[in-house]
Amino acid sequence: MTSKQPTGWWDEEGPNLVIQGDNLPVLRELPDESFQLIYIDPPFNTGKVQSRVSLKTRRIDNLGEGSRVGFKGQTYETIRGAATSYNDEFADYWGFLSPRLEQAYRVLAPTGTLYLHLDYREVHYAKVALDGIFGRESFLNEIIWAYDYGARAKRKWPAKHDNILVYVKDPKHYYFDSTSVDREPYMAPGLVTPEKAARGKLPTDVWWHTIVSPTGKEKTGYATQKPEGILRRIIEASSREGDWVLDFFAGSGTSGAVAGKLGRRFVMIDENPEAVAIQRERLAAISGLGTVEYLGIAL
């Protein structure tokens, strides 16, 4: 992997890119209709500082301060890692997001698809905004990602899902490959043939998938990290090998990591140096990924 300042800077025949900088001026420098797939997971406008501290455990020989006894009497200690955070509060959220969505439409390929990942706070406004930018006829789906962790409200139904709005550039000529995505088990397998039951069914617009486990291999310690399984399904369905994938709120780099593993090329943008540092470490661990260039851009 290399690190350099740009000199003219994105080439569709060039390497994967990770860019640290304000995404709006970077987007304005990208050519029209360059990306087959755009996935973005912008801040949800929760009004809070989102933070997470990474914790690791290791086995030790002696019980001491900060250690504990675990499975089969083994002694462990917990190691506190780096804390990552960002401010998820905007006085004018749509003044911030709308021009970025307009640029997303411009750089999306004619057969391309945009996935906008939000939650209940802003998704309704996002639907209106994207109808205006793409046209209502270009709305393809609202995906509900339901998970099993989070709110414990007692005076309302606890919020346990995110919303992903899916828009295509051209509703008559867009790419979607349902044969490539992972299948799900039938809820009533006895009602279908044994062959169908063994193969599973195409996922619907409701996706049941756990969050990134705090103790799992995927975890990076980055606040709001999304699971690879969600991105894998999106990337397999709406892009081909060799296509360019863009994520301009890249965070911990899940979209780039999955795109690279699936043979897609990617551009990831984030202005948070902590996020870019996590992306660098994460991408370095992927074998066969190819060249990744890291750019620091002030436009």
- pLDDT (mean) for 71-77: 49
Number of domains in the chain: 1
Choose between 41 and 87: higher pLDDT.
41
Residues 234-261: what's their mean pLDDT? 97
Q: Mean pLDDT across the stretch 279-293?
A: 92
70's CB contacts (< 8 A; 6+ apart) are 76
Pick 57 or 142 by higher pLDDT: 142
Q: Which of 42, 21, 28, 6 is nearest to 271 (CA)?
A: 21
Q: Are 210 and 230 in contact (CB under 8 A)?
A: no
pLDDT at position 299 is 47
pLDDT for the residue numbered 80 = 45
For residue 120, give the CATH number of its domain.
Answer: 3.40.50.150
For residue 96, give the 3-state DSSP assignment.
helix
The answer for 258, left when phi > 0, alpha when psi is -120 to 50, beta otherwise, is alpha
Residues of the chain with pLDDT > 70, as a percent, come to 79
Q: What is the mean pLDDT of residues 170-186?
A: 95
pLDDT category of residue 269 using cuts at 50, 70 and 90: very high
pLDDT in tens, 105-153: 999 999 999 999 998 888 999 999 999 999 999 999 999 999 987 667 8
Q: Hey, CA dihedral for 98, 143, 124, 219, is it positive or negative? A: negative
Partners of 190 in the beta sheet? none
Residue indicated by tokens 């804390």 = 83
Please report the pLDDT score of residue 167 as a whole number. 98
The tokens for 147 are 């998970």
Measured distance between the N- and C-terminal CA atoms of the chain, rounded to whole angstroms: 23
Q: Is residue 223's pLDDT more than 90? A: no
Q: Is the pTM value of this prediction over 0.75?
A: yes
Highest mean pLDDT among 3-17, 88-102, 132-146, 282-296: 132-146
Summarize the confidence of residues 164-186 as an average pLDDT.
Answer: 96
Determine the structural domain holding residue 184 and report its residue range. 2-296
Q: Which residue has the tokens 């960002």?
A: 86
Query: How do 2-4 and 244-247 pair as beta strands?
Result: unpaired
